[in-house]
Chains A and B, each alone.
Chain A
């Protein structure tokens, strides 16, 4: 403990005084809590946490230090970090540096030694809100005087809100890159399928899970056009997780509709799921305090089985759970949709499946990292979907539904225009 004071100020005026963790200075963002007891390194490097101050409910964080294998991206994304008892000395045969060192090196302002449970209960009751962490220079004004609380509060209330924020562009890759399959079929090199993954804040474990299954993944930046996607002749398209308000992602929704119109098999995770919801014409809304943790029970309504899953979402899709519905998007051009997965804790929509199109998505994280592997099977479902997508398949038809485009065959897809 370096004994330097840090102050956490919440939008509603509640403050907590603790000690500096990582860098000193000031930071603002939306404050959220995560109940995962393991996986802090994955959490810190998950782009979905961009612009968020993360509170860890588990008191001891940093015990196993930071290692080379576990990061989910190339940098730490959280806007600030709140831990009760950060480890003084990490202990793990894989650790290369301590949590505090990593935070300091990447300039992440954090706070420790506060009652994180009191804070969590407060956020649970009042809902997530904006907050700021201030220490060192962050606590003094231009003339070197200690800033009064009102000052700090003003900084917080002046900061942007999460609703309406379009953040994908801030976290996505600059240049496309390709993740090769780890194992092909018997022959060896040949991938079982080629996927274009639109990076809206993708975690490195996602292409890895596909690669494990013999899939080649082209990761492309947000803002990629449907032509650019088709140029890569994908068997399927994937939309990743990511930060921000899905309502703001106008371009990505258009891109996704282009994919659906061409009946290209689609799989979306988290933000990608919310975008499928919007593309289909459903609304999205902000949860009071969201789902963030690795212990969340989700019911797969097809198999009636419960899977324990990793969650990190503040928004959710507003779709009818009790019955299958025709996707509202202009007069139901995408046919019927069913809610495939539901959160057992609070009944939130956790998965969508199109009944007349090769498209599905989940709100949670089958790629885990951090978290349990119960939902692995979804990557296999995606691969099956692509397999059947490549073979000529007639459109599902029912009263009044006629597909907007003619069924797309393997040949067409391979000969996609450039």
Chain B
């Protein structure tokens, strides 16, 4: 059947801010869906609160709403746009939940909107753990024994029946939120408590533990005439017990016979039919008992999922794209397989390579968090790699993680005796380091007293086949280390099993460059194979390549000059989807005049979609791998250059070596990058331009550090130089704190150097500017003209990382004169540094002095936000500038506005607020409490949302609604602020009482409020304990009797009480305000909320005001 003719417009729901468990993969699926539906001639309406996404770019939909994804807002959009259908299966759990809510509230019916791609009934069947059990039984398969519970008593009773350990899994949550494994009753009480809390139906499933079983996933697709295909099988290297999102996974499944695999396939197909997913993709997880082969169905996701993105990239079969086509009426056999062009999509891909995915974690940012991997997903990103065998793919995937200590190593002695005895039990506990610990243990295989594969298997449950492969890598490494000289066949073998030049260099005690020169001289080079969905049975049209050490390369000659864009690698805190946005835009801008080539290793992204760029290389972003791609492309046609400034710090840090190796770098030259990043050089640039910067110094020892601190005076801001996202950055108020910090740095250095050392990598020590207004600027410079993309005023004062701070564009409290200064300073820096392309500068405004905090000569995290808030495609313009265009030309051609810029917006221009979304509630301390939520100079947010409206209060209110469901319009507010903030709270709190809030406060705060004529009730701090049974504030918060909490940490040291209050608030899922600036903004927002429901407006409509710059300020 061709596509339905009764549908002419579709509302696509996005997945909102990037959070753990729901990341860039839904931008990829949503973007694909929008592309396909528009290609089908449908009018596409999109809602997503996340401005960093590519899908929310005005050119991808007919009407793009960057609005909170809440039932009433989405209803408002439906009422306004009157879509025929709503497609909720490509926006993760968020979209699915909203769709159910709208269906149940009768909204869809009222507006005559049809839900396509899935129906509420099947969503229930799949997501309600109990109902799903029935489904599985009806399919003649089994689930783990389980019991359902709605109260703690039921929980305990069920556990008694099932026995410990027992698994707790809430219904209707995503990424395993609120789930866990309890080994005893106290643990059970704790886990089940949050489980019940996070389940929208306060329902948890208690389940027989199947820890240690082999875990598999199948990605299936079904069309409305009941054709079903299995797109991909995925095997988890970490056995059941570690969330699939946190496991190292491999495709295809490697340790099943055909009989066993077909059994999973049969069950999968029966389940998708029984659940009744009539069109689209779904993901089913299985556990297989390693000795008996007993199969247990773990769960099914009736939608495109994280694994679907992985499966699409792993096979070349674009699940989301095809799901969208199926949803509008096509059948699988009517849809062509893009890659071959000659065969239909109704087939099952066959792989002639191995795919490995490795997760990337961020525990270092949450030192208090328990790093054990469990059934709750904790990773913030992932890297994927392809190779012609497992060892090659694994080696590439691990080095793609781009983080110290994430690759196999052979430093230090082979573990034995006590060390080995200590390692064995530690590998029984899954952590992000387990694979490397396993590799270390396996180094001892075959030595007296050494471990063997059986021991490691017993401890980890990792299939012996994988362990054997890791042992193979060790064996090859051993040969490399001990060979008298590096024989060609040995070197070839090392590369064939995934060892990087750097690893080989380490083993031989020579430099990486030497290894490369020898290797290339011997002609030992990777070839580039093609992902073709069919194991070469048919010719592929799509140049989607990966490197492998094998004989025949498939890179085709070309005549057009190529530009290579380096992506940003795995998502991590501080470097996420925003950078993918810029990379994809560069490709879109350049592809008319150049052959665009993308290199990236992040399977979640749009940049790694095979039809985004002309050629895709799915490769690690390391010097070695990038250089090989460059040279391979140079061999088949002209290469104009490589773009390193759009993918964040990862590609930027390769610039210098690439250039040294003869690779032309487009845009800002490496020397200029260094000028911005090296404090000394940058300091001189500022001096010459007469721009003030906070006093600073650098130190490599405690003595140096202390003297610097004394010279510039406390408080100081300490950090290692060359970091992104404020890594390891702290505000230090005293010698003691400084000593402590340096101590930790030394420890870190010792680990890195795996040996004692007195030297630490240079520390940067800045004078900390108190009470400073932080401004963030994104600008474009071509050597002559500056285009000020936008100026963002942070809500929080300097000291809270720009990535975690809410900000508003255009600024709302900055004078025109100050803006003019910002413009002049930015231009001076751009010129002084020698920027060609994008520049991001952070300023701090303290009592009329405009300090320069830092300049990043690259696309910033805020580039997409600025582009959407001002309606100007900054990254596109930047790419063109890097390719030689001038800003004048871009103004003429219409890429940039003919006159004015982001610094001179009309008064009628909308106000856009960016709010950060933080992952605190995912991280638990070893004791099981939530980690602290205080913001600081180290970035911790995983994602962001945008609120856009005519004035600041409403825009801010929207941003809060989008970030966490919204502020209360009445009820009880609890206020407890640090002394330095007491002065500032009187007015906002007065407003709250006027609006009818009941105010609770701690003693000191209450006193200040009282003297200022604001009535409040004093509540006891937790530390004061319960007097005659009266509740403490923590009790009240936990009991849900407080609607909003205002608690600013006292500047210094220990923050015990604050900590308990804040964590209790997070646990209770209530809004928490930790700075007075937030409070002021929140109060304004509450006022606007009380004024009435949000009005919705599409970006396309906003663009109208934005284009009109006549009444420039």
Task: Enumerate chain A interface residues (CB-CB to B < 8 A).
Answer: 16, 33, 35-39, 41-42, 57-60, 63-64, 67, 69-70, 84-85, 87-94, 114-118, 120-121, 124, 293-297, 299, 304-306, 308, 344-346, 368-373
Given contacts A35-B350, A93-B290, A297-B333, contact A121 B552 (CB under 8 A): yes
* Interface segment out of the listed B260-268, B718-726, B1097-1105: B260-268
B496 nearest in chain A by CB position:
A113
Cross-chain pairs A/B with CB under 8 angstroms, 29 sampled: A35-B350, A35-B534, A36-B258, A37-B350, A38-B258, A38-B261, A41-B257, A42-B258, A57-B350, A57-B352, A58-B352, A63-B465, A67-B257, A69-B259, A70-B258, A84-B389, A85-B388, A85-B390, A90-B465, A91-B464, A114-B551, A115-B552, A120-B535, A124-B538, A344-B344, A344-B347, A345-B343, A345-B344, A373-B265
Q: Across the interface, do B352 and A116 meet the contact criterion of CB distance under 8 Å?
A: yes
By a CB distance below 8 angstroms, the chain A residues around B290 are 93
Task: Bits for B385-420, please: 1 = Cβ < 8 Å to A, else 0.
Answer: 000111000000000000000000000000000000
Q: Across the interface, do A308 and B534 meet the contact criterion of CB distance under 8 Å?
A: no
Number of interface residues of B (CB under 8 A): 53
Contact of A93 among B291, B346, B388, B529 (CB under 8 A): B291
- How many angstroms between the C-alpha atoms of A373 and B259 in the bound complex? 10
By a CB distance below 8 angstroms, the chain A residues around B538 are 124, 345
Q: Across the interface, do B344 and A64 meet the contact criterion of CB distance under 8 Å?
A: no
Q: Across the interface, do B534 and A59 meet the contact criterion of CB distance under 8 Å?
A: no
The 10 A-B residue pairs whose C-beta atoms are closest, nearest first, are A39-B258, A118-B552, A115-B551, A91-B465, A57-B535, A370-B258, A38-B258, A295-B348, A35-B535, A35-B350
Task: Write the nearest CB–CB distance from B624 to chain A, whole angstroms.
Answer: 22
Q: Across the interface, do A118 and B551 meet the contact criterion of CB distance under 8 Å?
A: yes
- How many angstroms between the C-alpha atoms of A304 and B254 in the bound complex? 34
Is there a chain A Cβ closer than 8 Å to B1032's Cβ? Answer: no
B343 nearest in chain A by CB position:
A345
Task: Write the nearest CB–CB distance from A123 to chain B, whole angstroms.
Answer: 9
- How many angstroms between the C-alpha atoms of A59 and B292 in the bound complex? 27
Is there a chain A Cβ closer than 8 Å to B425's Cβ? Answer: no
- How many angstroms between the C-alpha atoms of A120 and B538 in the bound complex? 10
By a CB distance below 8 angstroms, the chain A residues around B292 are 93
Given contacts A295-B348, A297-B333, A308-B347, contact A35 B465 (CB under 8 A): no
Is there a chain A Cβ closer than 8 Å to B578's Cβ? Answer: no
Summed over the interface, the residue pairs from A and B with CB atoms below 8 Å come to a total of: 158
Q: Across the interface, do B551 and A59 meet the contact criterion of CB distance under 8 Å?
A: no
Is there a chain A Cβ closer than 8 Å to B592's Cβ? Answer: no
- How many angstroms between the C-alpha atoms of A344 and B343 in the bound complex? 7
A40 nearest in chain B by CB position:
B258
User: Which one of A16, A33, A36, A64 has the highest number of Cβ atoms from chain B below 10 Å of its Cβ?
Assistant: A64
Name 5 extra pairs, CB < 8 A, besides A91-B463, A117-B535, A305-B227: A37-B252, A41-B257, A115-B551, A117-B388, A304-B225
Is there a chain A Cβ closer than 8 Å to B1037's Cβ? Answer: no
By a CB distance below 8 angstroms, the chain A residues around B534 are 35, 295
Task: Write the nearest CB–CB distance from A71 to chain B, whole angstroms.
Answer: 12
By a CB distance below 8 angstroms, the chain A residues around B1035 are none
By a CB distance below 8 angstroms, the chain A residues around B539 are 124
By a CB distance below 8 angstroms, the chain A residues around B229 are 308
Contact of A117 among B227, B349, B465, B550 (CB under 8 A): B550
* Complex interface residues of chain B between 510 and 546 (CB less than 8 A to chain A): 529, 534-539
Task: Write the nearest CB–CB distance from B223 to chain A, whole angstroms.
Answer: 9
Q: Across the interface, do B550 and A115 meet the contact criterion of CB distance under 8 Å?
A: yes
By a CB distance below 8 angstroms, the chain A residues around B349 are 295
- How many angstroms between the C-alpha atoms of A387 and B535 in the bound complex? 42
A88 nearest in chain B by CB position:
B468
Q: Across the interface, do A59 and B354 meet the contact criterion of CB distance under 8 Å?
A: yes
A69 nearest in chain B by CB position:
B259
- How many angstroms between the C-alpha atoms of A343 and B883 in the bound complex? 48
By a CB distance below 8 angstroms, the chain B residues around A42 are 258
- How many angstroms between the C-alpha atoms of A87 and B469 in the bound complex? 9
Q: Across the interface, do B352 and A120 meet the contact criterion of CB distance under 8 Å?
A: yes
Given contacts A93-B291, A345-B343, A373-B266, contact A70 B259 (CB under 8 A): yes
Task: Write the nearest CB–CB distance from B332 to chain A, whole angstroms.
Answer: 6
- How many angstroms between the C-alpha atoms of A222 and B833 in the bound complex? 85
B466 nearest in chain A by CB position:
A91
Given contacts A89-B464, A345-B343, contact A60 B258 (CB under 8 A): no
Given contacts A296-B347, A297-B347, contact A117 B256 (CB under 8 A): no
Task: Write the nearest CB–CB distance from A240 to chain B, whole angstroms.
Answer: 20
- How many angstroms between the C-alpha atoms of A373 and B261 in the bound complex? 11
Q: Across the interface, do A306 and B258 meet the contact criterion of CB distance under 8 Å?
A: no
* Complex interface residues of chain B between 439 and 492 (CB less than 8 A to chain A): 453, 463-465, 468, 472
Task: Write the nearest CB–CB distance from A5 to chain B, whole angstroms.
Answer: 11
Is there a chain A Cβ closer than 8 Å to B226's Cβ? Answer: yes
Contact of B350 among A88, A118, A295, A346 (CB under 8 A): A295
Is there a chain A Cβ closer than 8 Å to B673's Cβ? Answer: no
By a CB distance below 8 angstroms, the chain B residues around A85 are 388-390
Q: Across the interface, do B255 and A63 meet the contact criterion of CB distance under 8 Å?
A: yes
Given contacts A306-B332, A344-B344, contact A372 B262 (CB under 8 A): yes
Contact of B550 among A118, A295, A306, A373 (CB under 8 A): A118
- How many angstroms between the C-alpha atoms of A359 and B251 in the bound complex? 42
Is there a chain A Cβ closer than 8 Å to B293's Cβ? Answer: yes
* Complex interface residues of chain B between 206 and 241 (CB less than 8 A to chain A): 225-227, 229-230
* Complex interface residues of chain B between 272 and 313 (CB less than 8 A to chain A): 290-293
Task: Write the nearest CB–CB distance from B155 to chain A, whole angstroms.
Answer: 35
Is there a chain A Cβ closer than 8 Å to B1045's Cβ? Answer: no
- How many angstroms between the C-alpha atoms of A349 and B535 in the bound complex? 23
Task: Write the nearest CB–CB distance from A198 to chain B, whole angstroms.
Answer: 26
- How many angstroms between the C-alpha atoms of A297 and B261 in the bound complex? 18
- How many angstroms between the C-alpha atoms of A117 and B293 in the bound complex? 32
Q: Across the interface, do A60 and B390 meet the contact criterion of CB distance under 8 Å?
A: yes
User: Which one of B258, B535, B536, B552 has the highest number of Cβ atoms from chain A below 10 Å of its Cβ?
Assistant: B258
By a CB distance below 8 angstroms, the chain A residues around B177 are none
Task: Bits for B126-169, please: 1 = Cβ < 8 Å to A, else 0.
Answer: 00000000000000000000000000000000000000000000
Is there a chain A Cβ closer than 8 Å to B353's Cβ? Answer: yes
Q: Across the interface, do B465 and A306 meet the contact criterion of CB distance under 8 Å?
A: no
- How many angstroms between the C-alpha atoms of A315 and B453 in the bound complex? 47
Q: Across the interface, do A293 and B536 meet the contact criterion of CB distance under 8 Å?
A: no
Is there a chain A Cβ closer than 8 Å to B351's Cβ? Answer: yes
- How many angstroms between the C-alpha atoms of A60 and B333 in the bound complex? 30
- How many angstroms between the C-alpha atoms of A94 and B291 in the bound complex? 9
